[in-house]
Amino acid sequence: MPIFQPASEAEVTRAILHGFTRDLERYAESEVVVVGGGFWIGGYLMNTITLRAPAQKVLDEIGCPYEEYSKNLFVTPGPHACSKLIAATMDAGARIQNMTSFEDVVIREENRVAGVVINWTPVQALPHEITCVDPIALESDIVIDATGHDALVIQSLEKRGLAKRIGEGGMWIERSEDAVVEHTGLAYPGVIVAGMAVCSTYGLPRMGPTFGAMLLSGRRAAEEALRQLGKRVPVARGAEPKAKPLARKR
């Protein structure tokens, strides 16, 4: 007696297409698009990631276990923490577009950023003769640049002379993490920078293989997005953002 109920290959294909196109159509316009990845592994390709207090409280919120390695320093497996973050994000209503690369920004009046231009990641690996595959665009009120060291969204503006990255400094964990959180915010009309993109944008020291600032910076970026959208912002945690919009040309 069969274990599974019947479903043909064609029906499986239709189900995949339906779900994919439904989500893409629904999110062709949205309030916020986050461009970036996150962490899956720690330093030197090792699974263990570290967090300094009080960032472990975020792990408590998402139900991710961790251990206290020493006073104020906590460790957890990167895949476990990242999986919990993904689950919490999608449970809250967000959608993740796999195998997708950021190519450019959508621009509106006075060069305000109003979305992102994306393409299939595999297109980048195609021979030059056939890589002229047109991308598509997603419109949004806010774009969050969480692309790490490269700060790709800010880079796309820099290429047009609309913004200027300073480039990140050398590693200084204790100085970097506070600075990253404090400088997280609106860096350009329509663009919020978060995580390591903050270091690259403002010339801050890099934080190295510790991830607490990424979590708290992400939270602050979300709060700033709510503020920009005119929505209620949860009770502020810590100091007010020190981020200042970058100089730009019109």
84-138 pLDDT, tens digit per residue, is 999 999 999 999 999 999 999 999 999 999 999 999 999 888 887 777 788 999 9
Cα gap 40→148, rounded to integer Å:
13
Cα gap 114→137, rounded to integer Å:
10
Helix, strand, coil percent values for the chain (each to nearest 5): 40, 25, 35
* Distances in whole angstroms, Cα of residue 36 to Cα of each of 140, 147, 165: 15, 4, 17
pTM of the entire structure? 0.91
- 250 pLDDT band (50/70/90 cuts)? very low
Rounded to an integer, the average pLDDT of 67-95 is 96
The token pair at 213 is 């600032």
Report the pLDDT value the prediction gives residue 245, as an integer from 0 to 100: 58
Cα gap 89→145, rounded to integer Å:
17
156-191 pLDDT, tens digit per residue, is 999 999 999 999 999 999 999 999 999 999 999 999
Please report, to the nearest 10 degrees, the dihedral formed by the alpha carbons of residues 123, 126, 130, 133 taken in order. Answer: 0
Report whether pLDDT(70) > 80: yes
Domains, the chain, with CATH or none: 33-228 (3.50.50.60)
Rounded to an integer, the average pLDDT of 25-41 is 93
Rounded to an integer, the average pLDDT of 139-144 is 98
- 242 pLDDT band (50/70/90 cuts)? low
Report whether pLDDT(239) > 50: no
